[in-house]
């Protein structure tokens, strides 16, 4: 599942890790020549050869030198050459005293190690990473606005922080995980609490399922009916799709298989009235929940959109569940916005994730309308319904 998305995310992590692991470029052209010039012959007695200490500018260059092999090279540096006069000279020890030599060396070593071991990513680094990775993320159906959110979140997490090169991959994976979590962590819906609260008011809870044609609404009604029955609740189904051919029979088929009552009118009947009747029946017979199927529609179906608004206006559902076909990719975001603007969506079921390799729409949809995903549809059987857990979902994507 989501192989394509996982692969793109993995690629993104290694791309950004590479940016951290890049060693700073050597500034060879600024380096001063290492070999000291021979000094003029003057003293009779040979003084200890002075160690050539790097000047300030040179020190900085040395600091940026990345590999330890080169540090040894620095220490082995030849002492300044001195012309030896012919007369015998008094022997003087060559090396300067240890105390003088050590601090300089260690200080420099520490400096070099720091530069080698850590790197600070800048806002610009993150921008250039997204310029490179953006297409991959879009290809995996993550919407543009979701990618923008990821970029801001990654900047907050990474820019300006010293990142140890050694643990860079984990650090970046964590930042990416947080940014993805920010997309899908849009609150939660407690279905059982909704039912219990309605019961306290002496009525059944009303759930209306909406979405495009073929997105998986009727199948999801059947799945949720089974889910509630498994928890001991008594649902009733409302055949609110009075528009599509065979839609009522399809719902009745589920009702028969599950042993659940279906309230129906005929084709062409007022959908709002069907749901209203189902609620009356449920309230009178102490059912816990009405699960109302509706006709599939798009924003261009003005009449059907108006009909849906009426269903909502008349029945004031406790939960408006948008069912999206996750395979529709980026279009799922547009669908979510359309329905949210028209009637206000409370939560989402993402259907058909069992046949979806991209998965980016799951990351984008709830961010786009700031509503939680309640379930994932994982197949065509009643049991193929998985409670959506944002944290676990994101972790699994990056495993
Ligand atoms: N693989 C898979 N197929 C699904 C899933 N949910 C629904 N379907 C199938 O999608 C098709 C359309 O589903 P349906 O419930 O009739 O969509 P509706 O028009 O929105 O009511 C049917 O063939 C379903 O079996 C799912 O989670 N996984
Ligand atoms: Mg249907």
Q: What does the DSSP assignment read for 147-210?
A: HHHHHHHHHHHHTTSEEESTTHHHHHHHHHHHHHHHHH------HHHHHHHHHHTTS-EEEEEE
Whether residue 314 is contained in a domain is answered as yes
- Tell which atom from ligand 1 comes closest to the C-alpha of 221: 15
Residues 180 and 268 in one domain: no
On whether both 175 and 206 belong to a single domain, the answer is no
Confidence of residue 61 (pLDDT cuts 50, 70, 90): very low
Residue 17 in domain:
no
Least confident among 48-62, 173-187, 268-282, 341-355: 48-62
Ligand 1 binding pocket mutation candidate from 243, 293, 351 (most atoms within 8 A of CB):
351
Specify if 23 maps to a domain: no
The pick from 213, 380, 381, 384 for probing ligand 1's pocket by mutation, whose C-beta has the most ligand atoms within 8 angstroms, reads 380
Looking at ligand 1, which residue's alpha carbon is closest to its atom 14? 216
Ligand 1 nearest-atom number relative to CA 222: 15
What separation in Å is there between the alpha carbon of 221 and the centre of ligand 2?
9
pLDDT for the residue numbered 393: 94
Q: Where does the pLDDT of residue 43 fall: very low under 50, low under 70, confident under 90, or very high at 90 and above?
A: low
Note whether 318 and 379 are same-domain residues. Answer: yes
Q: Which residue has the higher pLDDT, 251 or 13?
A: 251
Task: Evaluate whether residue 86 is within a structural domain.
Answer: yes
pLDDT-derived band of residue 49, with 50, 70 and 90 as boundaries?
Answer: low
Which ligand 1 atom lies nearest to the CA of residue 219? 15
* Ligand whose nearest atom lies closest to the CA of 350: 1
| Ligand 1 atom at minimum distance from 250 CA | 16
Using a pLDDT cut of 70, give the percent of the chain over it: 76
Residues spanned by the domain of 271: 191-389
Q: What is the dihedral of CA 298, 299, 304, 305, to 10 degrees?
A: 130
Same domain assignment for residues 304 and 359: yes
User: How many Å lie between the centroid of ligand 2 and the Cα of residue 242?
Assistant: 10
Residue nearest to atom 25 of ligand 1 (CA): 380
The answer to whether residue 14 is domain-embedded is: no
Q: Is the pLDDT of residue 319 over 90?
A: yes
Q: What average pLDDT does the structure give for the chain?
A: 84
Smallest CA-to-CA distance from 335 within 217, 238, 172 is with: 217
User: Has residue 36 got a pLDDT over 90?
Assistant: no
Atom of ligand 1 nearest to the CA of 384: 27
In the numeric block, the tokens 């002492």 are attached to 79
User: In the structure, what pLDDT confidence band is assigned to residue 35 with cuts at 50, 70 and 90?
Assistant: low
Contact of 133 with 171, CB cutoff 8 Å: no
Candidates 54, 108, 99, 52; CA nearest to 79 is 52
Count CB atoms within 10 A of the CB of residue 341: 12
Would you place residue 384 in the very low, low, confident or very high pLDDT band (cuts 50, 70, 90)? very high
Q: Which of 68-77, 101-110, 118-127, 315-324 has the highest mean pLDDT?
A: 315-324
Cβ contacts of 200 within 8 Å, gap of 6 or more: none
Q: Which long-range contacts (CB under 8 A, 24 or more apart) does 333-338 make?
A: 333/143, 333/361, 333/364, 333/365, 333/368, 335/211, 335/212, 335/215, 335/298, 336/365, 336/368, 336/369, 337/368, 337/369, 338/298, 338/299
At 389 the pLDDT is 96
Residues 246 and 355 in one domain: yes
Q: Inform me whether the pLDDT recorded for 343 exceeds 80.
A: yes
Task: Verify that 173 and 268 share a domain, yes or no.
Answer: no
End residue of a domain, out of 67, 85, 118:
118
Nearest protein CA to atom 19 of ligand 1, as residue: 214
Q: What distance in angstroms lies between residue 129's CA and the mean position of ligand 1's atoms?
A: 38
Share of the chain above pLDDT 90, in %: 59
Cα separation, 38 vs 238, whole angstroms: 100
pLDDT, residue 260, reads 98
Residue 252: CATH number of its domain: 3.40.50.300
Instruction: Report how far ligand 1's centroid is from the alpha carbon of 101 (Å).
Output: 77
> Are 307 and 240 in a shared domain?
yes
Q: Kindly give the distance from the C-alpha atom of residue 215 to the centroid of ligand 1, in angstroms, as a whole number.
A: 6
Interval 89-115 mean pLDDT? 53
Question: In angstroms, what is the span from residue 224 Cα to ligand 2's centroid?
Answer: 14
Q: Cα(210) to centroid of ligand 2, in Å? A: 9
Q: Ligand 1 — pocket residues by CB below 6 A? A: 211, 213-219, 296, 351-352, 354-355, 377-380, 384
Burial tier of 86 (Cβ tally within 10 Å: 0-12, 13-18, 19+): exposed
Same domain for 226 and 110, yes or no, is no
Residue 221: inside a domain: yes
Q: Which ligand ends up closest to the CA of 224?
A: 1
CATH number for the domain spanning 180: value is 1.20.120.140
**Range 352-358 average pLDDT:** 90
Distance separating alpha carbons of residues 389 and 374, to the nearest angstrom = 8
What is the number of domains present in the chain?
3
Residues 153 and 176 in one domain: yes
Ligand 1: residue of 210, 219, 321, 387 to mutate (most ligand atoms within 8 A of CB) is 219
112-160: pLDDT as tens digits: 555 567 888 899 989 988 888 888 899 999 999 999 999 999 999 999 8
pLDDT at site 165: 83
CB 255 within 8 A of CB 261: yes
DSSP-assigned letter for residue 238: E
Q: Are 342 and 308 in contact (CB under 8 A)?
A: yes
- What's the confidence (pLDDT) of residue 24? 66
Q: Which residue has the higher pLDDT, 54 or 233?
A: 233
Pairing relation of β-strands 289-294 and 347-351? unpaired
Q: What is the pLDDT of residue 119?
A: 83
**8-state DSSP, 167:** T
19 domain residue, yes or no: no
Q: Is residue 30 part of a domain?
A: no
For 358-368, the pLDDT digits (tens) are 889 999 999 99
The residue with greater pLDDT, 224 or 168, is 224
- Conformation bin of residue 211: beta by default, left when phi > 0, alpha when psi is -120 to 50: left
Cα of 285 from ligand 2 centre, angstroms: 26
Confidence of residue 293 (pLDDT cuts 50, 70, 90): very high
User: What's the CA-to-centroid distance between 381 and ligand 1, angstroms?
Assistant: 10
Same domain, yes or no, for 130 and 104? no
Domain termination site, one of 118, 143, 163: 118
Residue nearest to atom 5 of ligand 1 (CA): 352
Give, as residue ranges, everything with CB less than 5 Å from ion ligand 2: 217-218
* 239 and 105 inside one domain: no
pTM of the model: 0.79
395: pLDDT strictly greater than 90: yes
Mean pLDDT, rounded, for 57-78 = 42
Q: Does pLDDT of 60 surpass 50? A: no
Q: In this structure, are 337 and 377 located in the same domain? A: yes
Structure tokens at 10: 């993995």
Q: Of 184, 207, 237, which one is at a domain's C-terminal end?
A: 184
Task: Tell me how crowded residue 206 is: count the other CB atoms within 10 A of its CB.
Answer: 25
Please check the confidence at residue 226 and state whether its pLDDT lies above 60.
yes
């Amino acid at each position: 599942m989501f192989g394509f998305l996982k692969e793109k995310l993995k690629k993104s992590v290694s791309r950004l890790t590479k940016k951290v692991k890049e060693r700073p470029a050597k500034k060879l052209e600024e380096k001063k020549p290492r070999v000291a010039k021979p000094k003029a012959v003057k003293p009779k007695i040979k003084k200890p050869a002075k160690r050539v200490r790097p000047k300030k500018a040179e020190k900085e260059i040395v600091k940026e030198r990345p590999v330890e092999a080169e540090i040894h090279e620095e220490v082995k540096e030849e002492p300044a050459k001195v012309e030896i006069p012919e007369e015998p000279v008094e022997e003087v020890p060559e090396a300067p005293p240890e105390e003088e030599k050590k601090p300089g060396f260690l200080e420099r070593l520490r400096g070099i190690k720091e530069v080698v071991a850590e790197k600070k990513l800048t806002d610009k680094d993150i921008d250039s990473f997204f310029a490179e990775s953006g297409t991959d993320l879009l290809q995996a159906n993550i919407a543009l606005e979701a990618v923008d959110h990821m970029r801001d979140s990654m900047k907050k997490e990474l820019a300006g922080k010293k990142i140890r090169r050694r643990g860079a991959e984990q650090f970046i994976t964590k930042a990416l995980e947080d940014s993805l979590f920010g997309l899908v962590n849009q609150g939660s819906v407690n279905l059982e609490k909704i039912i219990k609260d309605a019961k306290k008011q002496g009525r059944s809870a009303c759930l209306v399922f909406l979405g495009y044609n073929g997105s998986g609404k009727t199948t999801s009604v059947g799945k949720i009916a089974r889910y509630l029955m498994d928890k001991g609740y008594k649902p009733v189904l409302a055949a609110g799709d009075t528009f599509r051919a065979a839609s009522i029979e399809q719902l009745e088929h589920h009702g028969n298989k599950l042993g659940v009552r279906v309230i129906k009118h005929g084709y062409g009947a007022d959908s709002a009235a069907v749901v209203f009747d189902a609620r009356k029946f449920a309230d009178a017979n102490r059912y816990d929940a009405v699960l109302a199927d509706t006709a599939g529609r798009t924003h261009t179906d003005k009449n059907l959109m108006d009909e849906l608004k009426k269903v909502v206006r008349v029945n004031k559902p406790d939960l408006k569940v948008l069912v999206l076909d996750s395979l529709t990719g980026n279009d799922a975001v547009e669908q979510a916005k359309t329905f949210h603007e028209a009637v206000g969506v409370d939560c989402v079921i993402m259907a058909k994730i069992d046949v979806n390799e991209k998965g980016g729409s799951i990351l984008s949809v709830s961010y786009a309308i700031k509503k939680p995903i309640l379930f994932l549809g994982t197949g065509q059987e009643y049991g193929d319904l998985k409670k959506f857990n944002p944290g676990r979902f994101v972790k699994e994507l990056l495993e």
